[in-house]
């Protein structure tokens, strides 16, 4: 893909970096600390895009040829946002709450240059089979999923053995909706 911009990925996530690399584009990683709080009045399905836009605002002084990509992923289970687990107990409770149910993973993305901004979000429905307590404990002990919304990675063991089906973009669940991002980059 030949873009007239120098791409900047504003993410420390190794998964997002790997995903963007798979689109065969050159980019640099540049991150800034951003307060990820949001008004409680925002509908939960709009939080990811709100946070992606908020993260992009930290990049005020972009050069004319620079394009920054910011994103945020939320896991919604029965209308409640599941953030990153703080500890083993919280991770266990999160995964147990997803067990035997369908939840939504929403990734918001913002593309920003010095004179233009566009944002979007993608939703993927993920269905877990009923998980055994020992399976959840094994996953948390071995994979330590404390850096992931909802306390799981679809590309890891728990996704391989526990997810019955998904509806939507697989890569969206990993943190970057590649199909949509590719289209948006081409039209930007």
Count the Cβ atoms, other than its own, within 10 Å of residue 114. 15
Output phi, psi for 157, to 5 deg: -50, -45
- What is the reported pLDDT for 60? 87
**163 domain-assigned:** yes
**136 domain-assigned:** yes
Structure tokens at 33: 């600390």
**1 domain-assigned:** no
Strand partners, 111: 69, 118
- What is the reported pLDDT for 38? 95
- What is the reported pLDDT for 87? 97
Q: Outline where the chain has alpha helix (H).
A: 14-22, 47-56, 88-98, 133-143, 157-162, 170-174, 178-187
Angle (nearest 5°) at CA 111 between 109 and 112? 140
- What is the reported pLDDT for 165? 97
Q: What pLDDT tens digit does each residue of the chain (188 aa) get?
A: 778 899 999 999 999 999 999 999 999 999 999 999 999 999 999 999 999 999 999 998 999 999 999 999 999 999 999 999 999 999 999 999 999 999 999 999 999 999 999 999 999 999 999 999 999 999 999 999 998 999 999 999 999 999 999 999 999 999 999 999 999 999 99
CATH number of the domain that residue 129 is part of: 3.90.950.10
Residue 35 designated active-site = no
Structure tokens at 103: 């939840």
Domain of 92, in residue numbers: 6-187
| Residue-by-residue DSSP string for 40-95 | TTS-GGGHHHHHHHHHHTT--S--TTEEEEEEEEEEEETTEEE-B-SSHHHHHHHH
- What is the reported pLDDT for 71? 97
| Among 35, 72, 147, 169, the one annotated catalytic | 72
- What is the reported pLDDT for 3? 85
Structure tokens at 120: 């979007």
In total, how many domains does the chain have?
Answer: 1
**161 domain-assigned:** yes
């Amino acid at each position: 893909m030949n873009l007239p911009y120098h791409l900047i990925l504003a993410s420390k996530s190794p998964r997002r970096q790997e995903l963007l690399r798979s689109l065969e584009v050159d980019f640099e990683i540049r991150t800034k600390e951003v307060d990820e709080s949001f008004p409680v009045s925002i509908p939960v399905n709009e939080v990811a895009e709100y946070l992606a836009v908020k993260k992009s605002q930290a990049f005020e002084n972009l050069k004319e040829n620079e394009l920054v990509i910011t994103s945020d992923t939320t896991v919604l289970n029965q209308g409640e946002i599941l953030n990153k687990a703080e500890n083993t107990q919280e991770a266990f409770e999160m995964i147990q709450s997803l067990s035997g149910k369908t939840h939504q993973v929403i990734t918001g993305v913002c593309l920003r240059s010095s004179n233009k901004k566009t944002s979007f979000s993608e939703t993927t429905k993920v269905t877990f089979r009923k998980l055994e307590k020992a399976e959840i404990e094994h996953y948390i002990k071995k994979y330590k999923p404390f850096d992931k919304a909802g306390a799981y990675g679809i590309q890891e063991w728990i996704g391989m053995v526990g997810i019955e089906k998904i509806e939507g973009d697989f890569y969206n669940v990993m943190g970057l909706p590649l199909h949509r991002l590719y289209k948006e980059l081409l039209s930007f």
